[in-house]
Amino acid sequence: MIRQDELRQRLQGFLRVPLAHLPTPLEEIGHLCGSLPAPLSLYTKRDDQTGLAFGGNKARKLEFIMADVVAQGADTVVTWAGVQSNWCRQMAAAAARMGLRAVLVLLKKPGVEVAEDGNLLLDRFFGAQVRIVEASGDKGFLELEHVRELVDPVVEEERKAGRKVYLAPVGGSLLEGSLVRPLGSLGYVVAFLELLEQAQARGFTPDTVVLASGSAGTQAGLLAGAKLLAPETRIVGISVAASAADLSRYVRVIAQAILDELGESPSVADDQIIVLDEYLAEGYGVLNQAVTDAIGLLARREGILLDPVYTGKAMAGMLDLAGRGFFRPEEKVVFLHTGGTPALFPYREGILGGLDG
């Protein structure tokens, strides 16, 4: 463990541009507690309120990544993700704010129509150059090697046009392309420090933090922060995109890189990485009744909106875990709200059809 002021001082040594509204609130969600079978103290860390382009967790990552873009002298950022990507929406907004060109390679399933709605609509508003391409997704798209044949031609096109390109990995997580240091995930070391200070001001240390884990960087940053400041706090990732084995491997690599970057030598042990993939169900971005129920429950009990791809699935998982006795009685549990609410709109028919009166 290290002191909080020491970690803060080390983090100040990294280049960073102000993009997020911080600190985000830590709120108790007491009405929801009343619907749980076990007595828990539930809180939510509102990273849907980071302010950049409807908010979300990517704003914290982009503060460090966009500083790296500038440091490398790039004028164009190329990245990839799914059509309704929160990452691409916030990347497009950050690039617009900083006067940079954003080129988004958006992957869609063959034969599926694309609606100009939600995050894609916002990408257009921010002036991003959008390339929609078909991809089966059989191997996933978190790793660059699985999408290289789709991304490399776009990078080459930009370079031939005389632009200096920064290739940013999906989610700003894995160390790929131009991101050779775990800079994006440092944003969630900052977030854990922020959360811990807010919780301590209320007289507690979080026992568990639950989050939707997609490209692994947010979970890895939280895990590294917890390992340094509060080893007793467990970080539980509800996978929304990959198997527990794959996602755990990504979390380990990124978290270890963060600790190395911060000059800390402890290794990340297997039992410190908690990834649950049983709530992935039919796969990334596929709506189901449990997710719809979770969205409706939090909206009607707390006035808080979840999204159908990330936080809705994570909340559904957390509620099921509470019912199964995963948490100890009176445990202090924090749900990290990572944003993503613009995706509610393209999913509206499925959500409305699943809500009870």
Residue 108 identity? K
222 by Cβ neighbours in 10 Å (0-12 / 13-18 / 19+) ranks as buried
Assess whether 178 carries a catalytic annotation.
Answer: no
Q: CA 155, 161, 166, 171 torsion: positive or negative?
A: negative
Number of neighbouring beta carbons within 10 Å of residue 8: 13
Report the distance separating Cα 178 and Cα 340, nearest Å: 25
Whether the CB-CB separation of 218 and 211 falls below 8 Å is answered with yes
Cβ neighbours of residue 84 under 8 Å, at least 6 residues apart? 118, 119, 120, 285, 309, 342, 343, 346
Report the distance separating Cα 222 and Cα 215, nearest Å: 13
In degrees and rounded to multiples of 5, residue 132 shows phi and psi of: -95, 120
Burial 21-59 (b: 16+ CB within 10 A, else e): ebbbebbebeebbeeeebebbbbbbbbbbbebbbbbbbb
Of 41, 85, 185, 215, the active-site residue reads 85
Whether the CB-CB separation of 266 and 227 falls below 8 Å is answered with yes
Tokens of 242: 């990959």
Q: Which residues are catalytic?
A: 85
